[in-house]
A and B are shown apart, each in its own frame.
Chain A
């Protein structure tokens, strides 16, 4: 069995995105789900499979209770946050290819604005790292007590090593931030729509060397949902399908286990392994990709992602992004045309998937002409995955 060309994304939905919506994640999730169902022309009652993030607060039971579905036949979670962004679609395609479900819902809802706290527990809105336990039995005990408390600080250490090894620069980081911001300027759904220059990027304050504020994803509220069905059913839906040509998952090192992150050579880590599996299954190469979506939680990780997935050689991600390398419409590889997690919204990467579907449909606000093939990856420093969507 393979998942190659077996499934298609036929519905996409979302809430508005903002720095603060004053809504619960549950409430936003159901709005996005209804929107995705409406987009596909499929009743929410037809959903018989679900893939969610393991840290999603709207779990299967909450979901069934709200949608009035009697039962799910297939349900699964992706681990470790943004690493699972594209893996959600891989798991949905698996369930469909195996005959375990016919209509699989994928969703993520996040109240992650700085002031969007709606409960005391760790994952109830706001900044998760501001409410860490004071006794740490998990692997973060090996760095949090030294003041490394959040993902942007962990990622700064990984980015610094890339600079040491390859001479990556602030200008390279800025190229990523500016390209994606300019895409967001064209996208009315995006939260950050003020144009940005390289000088603006360099003038933003350092938060954890070498990362500046504008190298970091934004803190926002919103939800995204997608519906995945069998490829042969996809043409009957309202909108043109985005077929899942191929998908791969690979669990490697995780930045939250920073003490062991550097034990593994980069080429043997999760993302480069997922890359090899992905291109093997698809029978295409990076050069065939019309538009790409990297998990842009931090600018240097986009640069590493270009290397991990073979769009350039190891160490050449910096030069690749120079002179608008990722910018619509004439970049070497047009990326994250929604503005990404850096400028559209930070919905754990799932908003990048929605935009990839829009590119296949031809409805993006920065449309890549004749777009046939879109690449989407999850966070490349987590257990991760990637998918290729085709027209």
Chain B
């Protein structure tokens, strides 16, 4: 009988860039959050895809996001989870509506679970995790920052 322990994923699972999305990861490595924007109708989209779901245009450009958005929904993961994340338990995962209108799933760093609420403003932070991959995370936007920007 095979034992469960023999097959559990221990290492941190990471994105494997493909031709469809490598520009996203190249931008993240530069410290930029970029989304595809349709060259025909102007709509943003995420995750990357070769066709605009609004107007079916194949023309698009990669455009830098303002990096700002608000929390749409979230969870606090308390376990079980993969070993690579166990040291962080409990941790949040959030779905953020970006200023560009697209949804982006990530985490808010340095934020207690009870502080998270729908509509909460956040901004991007970039966390390199390998030579190739930088993950886009968020941090809270303090109210004085909101007024000054």
Are B14 and A208 interface neighbours, CB within 8 A? Answer: no
Q: Does A28 contact B (CB under 8 A)?
A: no
Kindly report which residue of chain B lies nearest to residue A143, judged by CB atoms: B105
Are A132 and B9 interface neighbours, CB within 8 A? Answer: yes
Are A134 and B14 interface neighbours, CB within 8 A? Answer: yes
Question: What's the Cα separation between A133 and B16 when bound, in Å?
Answer: 10
> Shortest beta-carbon distance, B8 to chain A, in Å?
5
Q: Mark A184-222, 1 if CB is under 8 A from B, else 0.
A: 000000000000000000000111111100000000000
Contacts of A262 in B (CB 8 A): 72-73, 95, 103
Q: Mark A134-147, 1 if CB is under 8 A from B, else 0.
A: 11110101111111
Contacts of B106 in A (CB 8 A): 146
> Shortest beta-carbon distance, A375 to chain B, in Å?
28
Tell me whether A134 and B9 are in contact in the complex, defined as CB-CB below 8 angstroms, given that A206-B76, A206-B78, A207-B80 are known contacts. yes
Are B107 and A146 interface neighbours, CB within 8 A? Answer: yes
Interface-central residue, A115, A211, A259, by most chain B CB under 10 Å: A259
Interface-central residue, B18, B74, B113, B129, by most chain A CB under 10 Å: B74
Are B4 and A115 interface neighbours, CB within 8 A? Answer: yes
Are A147 and B73 interface neighbours, CB within 8 A? Answer: no
A-B contacts at CB below 8 angstroms, number: 144
Interface size for B (C-beta < 8 A) is: 45
> Shortest beta-carbon distance, A385 to chain B, in Å?
23
Tell me whether A209 and B78 are in contact in the complex, defined as CB-CB below 8 angstroms, given that A119-B2, A136-B16 are known contacts. yes
Q: Does A61 contact B (CB under 8 A)?
A: no
Interface residue from B1, B14, B53, B135 paired with A22 (Cβ < 8 Å): B1
Contacts of B7 in A (CB 8 A): 117, 120, 126, 130-131
Interface residue from B9, B77, B85, B133 paired with A131 (Cβ < 8 Å): B9
Question: What's the Cα separation between A209 and B78 when bound, in Å?
Answer: 8
Q: Does A129 contact B (CB under 8 A)?
A: yes
Question: What's the Cα separation between A205 and B89 when bound, in Å?
Answer: 14
Question: What's the Cα separation between A117 and B133 when bound, in Å?
Answer: 32
Kindly report which residue of chain A lies nearest to residue B15, judged by CB atoms: A141
Question: What's the Cα separation between A240 and B101 when bound, in Å?
Answer: 54
Are A145 and B47 interface neighbours, CB within 8 A? Answer: no
Query: Which one, A29-37, A93-101, A155-163, A335-343, is touching chain B?
Result: A155-163
Q: Does A287 contact B (CB under 8 A)?
A: no
Tell me whether A259 and B76 are in contact in the complex, defined as CB-CB below 8 angstroms, given that A129-B82, A147-B91 are known contacts. no
Contacts of B79 in A (CB 8 A): 207
Contacts of B133 in A (CB 8 A): 145
Interface-central residue, A132, A143, A147, A263, by most chain B CB under 10 Å: A147
A interface with B by C-beta (< 8 Å): 22, 114-115, 117-120, 126, 129-137, 139, 141-150, 153, 156-158, 160-161, 164, 205-211, 257-263
Q: List the 4 closest pairs (A to B, CB-CB), nearest first.
A: A141-B15, A156-B75, A161-B73, A135-B16
